[in-house]
Amino acid sequence: MSDYVYDLETYPNIFTFSAIKTDGSERQVFEMSTRKNEADKMFSFLDRLHDNGDRLVGFNNVGFDWPVVKGLLDVRDKAVTVPGKSVANKAYRLAQAIFNDQKQAFKPVKSTDMVEQIDLFKIYHFDNVAKATSLKMLEFNMKVDDIRDLPFPPGTLLTDDEMDVLISYNMHDVDNTLRFYLLSIPLITFREELTKKYKRSFMNHNDTKIGKDYFIMQLEKSMPNSCYKKNKDGSRSINQTKRPVIAIKDCLFRYYNFTRPEFLAIVNWFNQQHITETKGVFSDIEEHLLGDVAQYADTIVKRKKFKEEPDQAALIDFKAEHPMGWVEPKELKVKKKGETQYSYWGHWKEATNLNVVVDGFRFDFGTGGIHGSVPPSIIEEDFDYVIVDADVASMYPNVAISNNVYPEHLTDAFCTIYKDVYEQRKSYAKNTAENAMLKLALNGVYGDSNNQYSPFYDPKYTMTITINGQLLLCLLAEKLLAIKGLKMVQINTDGVTVLLPRGSRPQYNKICEDWQKRVNLQLEFAEYSKMIIRDVNNYIAIYTNGKVKRKGAYQYEGLGWHQDQGGRVIAMAAEASILTGADLYDFISNHEDKYDFMLRTKVPRSSKLVQVFSDGTEVQQQNICRYYACKTGGQLIKVMPALYAGDPDRRLSVESGWAMKVCNNIKDFSYDIDYDYYVEAAKKLLIGCEETVAIPEDPYV
């Protein structure tokens, strides 16, 4: 069995199918156009792959490329006899139909189809909005020397010379898909092992889907028809628990023994809530709706302007909408006939999200988990203090297992299987396919319990896990805050980081041990020698063994393929400055990897990207564009269609105030870098972290 990477290009008068064997030993280009028809050769190639049991690998090939090819296979006899332009036009119309009907585009490839498909787009879950990534963005992240955008607008009738350019571009895409395939071999091998073991295809499953499908397999094995029920007509329907209203009090565990009034107020608030949806329900809460929480919460003042001085009726309406609001006049600078004029504003307090402040530390609650952090600062251990981090092992799965929480339609057998999966995982080494798959099974269930298309769907289960997960961490935090001199550093979804007096370590250990026994969860501990914190999602932590943990804006290694990996030198320089005192300009100007200076932008096809030079010259660039800061470059401008007919196009600066040099082909690079741009960007990562905090007097000033 061999793998062939392939890609198509479809225009009204030319269709190309290009492929390369993954060992590089064979290249194929089949053209159907106004100048030739190689459909017969293409079909013969596919026949050979089918007979040999070979596979076709692509990027969004399940959603686009293969449906187009399949459409041509359906008219195979005719396609080999008509002129090439007819085949091209047929392929173009098939492609347009897919673009116009995305449900059709994402229909699964059947096992009976001619050649097995491997879709890297689906394996990496790039078909998820939050991870949507194009091959061009991958080329940027893979540091490809030559990034090429589609050379001609879709629907263009191409000349012979343009057809040659298109074929070159088509093979360029195949080469870069091959590059990505080679980087993806471990993921493909993992899916092959699972497919062989469980005798069902996992080949185009993303990681989350692998976990969910495995769990469904185990549930159906133990409880047939628990996830899906069979209908009389042979079809099947999904089993779910739908809830028009959820009373949060029915979600809460009964073993909370808070003593701090701030946390007692939070529990009381939860007990009074009834929700009809699970998103955004803990945000933008007015003061009168906060109840007792209001006296412990950070709030902001919002306001709206009255058109004129409000009369009694207007005031009644305002108070009905904002019961704890108030109206204030504001003196205007402009006077009329010498008289003082006023504008009138209604004000009210609002919490941007549910929160309480405890001993100066703010705990933010949300449907996705709890968050909190000290202000931007550098925290270091010393002779008297140590930084200790405690994370709950597999928190959400174990909250369900330990408290017998399950989607109602799946019964408590769900927890039995959940626990079995958890125990199974511990029996496999970390680098095995089984361990990886079981981890995915454990973590995928919680997220899917809020997915209306999933057999795990039960929003009460979702809220039970997420709300209690937050309260359980608050319970731990409250006990830890009783330690004299201890300061909260961060709280984040499944863990708590504190600044602990070294002499209080036995007390800390005892509190954690008691908490673990009480809630039946396991903590995993780490110690940091230093933390550089901008906020809860952006920080650097140095373990006591010297290893470095980077999050958010400070992360430049281990980024996902869907993440922006541009300007890596910025985070590198900021880290070097913070950790070693390196001069930003010296570090950046002496950095040698040119790719770490590269930035990128993407403009939708409805818009265009232009570069404007100092002499007024304007040059259109690729919609997906790689560039770097250079004083001899030009301003990059996104030109977008007007919002209203007759208005001028909208123009938005990219890297406003800085000149950039386009470098889609790395041959255009020279070390004419404007280092000031990168220095200024790195400085932003130092804001609030200029000085180490004083310990122990007041670690957060």
Residues 260, 74: Cα–Cα separation, whole Å: 71
**Mean pLDDT, the chain, as a whole number?**
92
Model pLDDT, residue 691: 46
| Angle between helical axes of 207-222 and 413-426 (0-180°, round to 10) | 120
Model pLDDT, residue 589: 96
Residues 216, 211: Cα–Cα separation, whole Å: 9
- Mean pLDDT over 678-700 rounds to 65
| Lookup: tokens for 163 | 């057809």
Residue spans of beta strands (DSSP E) within 143-241 = 228-230, 236-238
Q: How confident is the model at residue 324 (pLDDT cuts 50, 70, 90)?
A: very high
Residues 53, 48: Cα–Cα separation, whole Å: 8
Q: Is residue 137 predicted with pLDDT exceeding 90?
A: yes
pLDDT tens readout for residues 546-571: 999 999 999 999 899 999 999 999 99
pLDDT tens readout for residues 611-647: 999 999 999 999 999 999 999 999 999 999 998 888 8
Model pLDDT, residue 430: 78
Q: How confident is the model at residue 701 (pLDDT cuts 50, 70, 90)?
A: very low
pLDDT tens readout for residues 514-527: 999 999 999 999 99
Q: Is residue 114 predicted with pLDDT exceeding 90?
A: no
Helical segments of 454-596, H only = 459-480, 505-519, 568-580, 584-589
Are 251 and 468 a contacting pair, CB within 8 Å? yes
Nearest CA to 500 out of 511, 510, 488 is that of 488
Residues 207, 531: Cα–Cα separation, whole Å: 32
Q: In the chain, what is the straight-line distance between the N-terminal and C-terminal CA atoms, in Å?
A: 64
Q: How confident is the model at residue 689 (pLDDT cuts 50, 70, 90)?
A: low
Q: What percent of the chain has pLDDT over 90?
A: 79
Are 378 and 369 a contacting pair, CB within 8 Å? no
| Lookup: tokens for 42 | 């293409």
Q: How confident is the model at residue 695 (pLDDT cuts 50, 70, 90)?
A: very low
Residues 556, 548: Cα–Cα separation, whole Å: 12
| Lookup: tokens for 80 | 């080999």
Q: Is residue 432 predicted with pLDDT exceeding 80?
A: no
Model pLDDT, residue 442: 84
φ, ψ at 12 (rounded to 5°): -55, -30
pLDDT tens readout for residues 26-67: 999 999 999 999 999 999 999 999 999 999 999 999 999 999
Residues 432, 129: Cα–Cα separation, whole Å: 30
Q: Is residue 14 predicted with pLDDT exceeding 70?
A: yes
Residues 124, 126: Cα–Cα separation, whole Å: 5
* Alpha carbon of residue 619 to chain centroid: 33
55-58 and 116-119 as β-strands: parallel, antiparallel, unpaired?
parallel
What is the SS3 assignment for 507? helix
Residues 522, 391: Cα–Cα separation, whole Å: 8
Query: Which of 16-20, 339-343, 554-558, 632-636 comes out lowest in average pLDDT?
Result: 339-343
- Mean pLDDT over 317-331 rounds to 94
State yes or no: cis peptide before 604, omega within 30 of 0: no
Helical segments of 449-496, H only = 459-480
Domains observed in the chain: 3-198 (3.30.420), 247-357 (no CATH), 593-675 (no CATH)
The enclosing H or E element of 372 equals strand 371-373
Determine the number of helices (DSSP H) and then strands (DSSP E) in the chain: 21, 29
3-11 and 55-58 as β-strands: parallel, antiparallel, unpaired?
parallel
